[in-house]
Amino acid sequence: MYVIGAKDNQLTNDQRVEFLEKAEADFDKVIELNPKFFGGYVARANLLKDKKYRDYSEAVFGYNRAIADYSKAIELYPAFADAYRNRANLYEKTEKKDLAKQDRKKANELDGK
């Protein structure tokens, strides 16, 4: 697993981009080798969710990819509240307010709130 936060501060922008590209490729490989492992989808979605994008259209594309990964993780492990919560945040960012509300409700149900 990659710990991006601590190392992030020590990297130049070019190094950061290279590091994240390698991490994404590694997560792609995890998914390829074991497509039923929900953690691979969550890891890649988290990377895509937190990635810094150049502009809004690139961000929406990345967010939609992350949404798809969270959706697959939920399909594989429907009791994982964090996947619903993270997907809800991305739905908010992509102007899908009703879907965000549904996911927040489901995450709260799973957390017993």
96 Rama sector, left if φ>0, alpha if ψ -120 to 50, beta otherwise = beta
Which CATH code for domain 4-110? 1.25.40.10
pLDDT digits (tens, 9 = 90+) for 1-57: 444 454 556 777 788 888 888 999 999 999 999 999 999 999 999 999 988 888 999
Decide: pTM greater than 0.85. yes
Amino acid identity for residue 45 in this structure: A
81-86 mean pLDDT:
98
> What does the alpha-carbon distance between residue 43 and residue 27 come to, in Å, rounded to a whole number?
7
Domain boundaries, the chain: 4-110
